[in-house]
Structure 1
């Protein structure tokens, strides 16, 4: 209902206008702050701020640790402070904030195949009869099965999203299973990859 008021304020009062705005990519996204304020007043706005704050703190700390790995000579406090200042500055621009969901979805789609590879390598490799941690155990620099599974899965998912078959928010779950299956198949077929006797579950 509150989103309907937001659409009304934008001049989108008929189904045709809403569909046209959606097709043109100009349909306004729901704004959590104004919606919560309209529904619950000041208490709603405070809830949105507190919810964002409690989510941002661990995320900011994790980002600080990641940046410290890049610049290990700088203290964790300074790196985290700099990260917080940059993200706070970015949050002042609605054009950046309103694209955050799309960015996170893209980020998730790019990383999703590697999550499947790590899961298979850690939990299933020995049960399925191939050696885990292939590059590390053989002294090599590249696990070609992992790289191929990542590239093929990412290519298929990108193609599906670009042609409009699946929204980017929903492509990661089926893509995960595709990446896992590809990695298992390629690992078993990879020339020179050490095979091990399948380990039965206890």
Structure 2
């Protein structure tokens, strides 16, 4: 039984580590998948040892999981609203710019960052953490405003939705990021698509005038 549990744990851990390394290399394109996976693995081992020998492991994991959920769920809201405002339309080729170590394209935004989504995410995540209330584990500065009830997650969800949609209205995204049917509940700006440069930049995506497929 111990061997079975060990093999099962290794299989689950390997899958989780690979997925995390893959995502990490997408966020930080300068790192290869191998480098990102090794870095994430080393950090994970460090956290495990720190939790085992330096902290109350069970309590720390519980608090950490709650904070992680509070911080990551707003990003899911931003992604779903982005999908909804785009009417489900994305350019698959343009999405590969980061993986190909290139620059430019319809999703390049500001130096590769969509600051509207990033701003909505970190502001709402920080707001949610401020309202988190885990007695004996972690209580945010505003965690006591709801009479001891942990409202960090719902606050972060609402904040992400309101802030992201507001930013889309105040600071329109380029028309090229939306499909032929246009945006839903969001304004757009007619700006040129920056050319794709970098390895293998030959093709339609390198044409600044390429805004939408016919």
Match for residue 95 of structure 1?
56
Structure 2 Cα separation of the partners of residues 56 and 148 of structure 1: 37
Match for residue 112 of structure 1?
73
1:88, distance to aligned residue in structure 2 (A): 6.5
Gaps of 5+ in 2: 26-30, 89-93, 96-103, 133-139, 185-214
Gaps of 5+ in 1: 1-45
Which residue, out of 17, 20, 38, partners 1:66? 20
Structure 1 Cα separation of the partners of residues 44 and 82 of structure 2: 35
Which residue, out of 129, 139, 157, partners 2:128? 157
Structure 1 Cα separation of the partners of residues 182 and 45 of structure 2: 53
Match for residue 21 of structure 1?
none
Q: What TM-score do the two structures reach when normalised by structure 2?
A: 0.48
What secondary structure sits across from 2:86 in the alignment?
A: helix
What secondary structure sits across from 1:98 in the alignment?
A: helix
1:96, distance to aligned residue in structure 2 (A): 2.5
1:103, distance to aligned residue in structure 2 (A): 0.7
Contact kept? 1:113, 1:153, Cα under 8 Å: yes
1:82, distance to aligned residue in structure 2 (A): 7.1
Match for residue 196 of structure 2?
none
Q: Are 2:106 and 1:137 equivalent residues in the alignment?
A: yes
- In structure 2, the CA distance between the partners of 1:80 and 1:112, relative to structure 1 (3 Å rule), is closer
1:90, distance to aligned residue in structure 2 (A): 5.6
Which residue, out of 173, 179, 183, partners 2:154? 173
Structure 1 Cα separation of the partners of residues 121 and 58 of structure 2: 29
Structure 2 Cα separation of the partners of residues 82 and 138 of structure 1: 32
CA RMSD, Structure 1 to Structure 2 (Å):
4.5
Larger Rg: 1
* Number of residue pairs the alignment of both structures matches: 146
- In structure 2, the CA distance between the partners of 1:72 and 1:137, relative to structure 1 (3 Å rule), is closer
> Higher relative CO (CA 8 A, sep ≥ 6), structure 1 or 2?
2
Contact kept? 2:71, 2:129, Cα under 8 Å: no
Which has a greater percent of helix?
1
Match for residue 126 of structure 1?
86
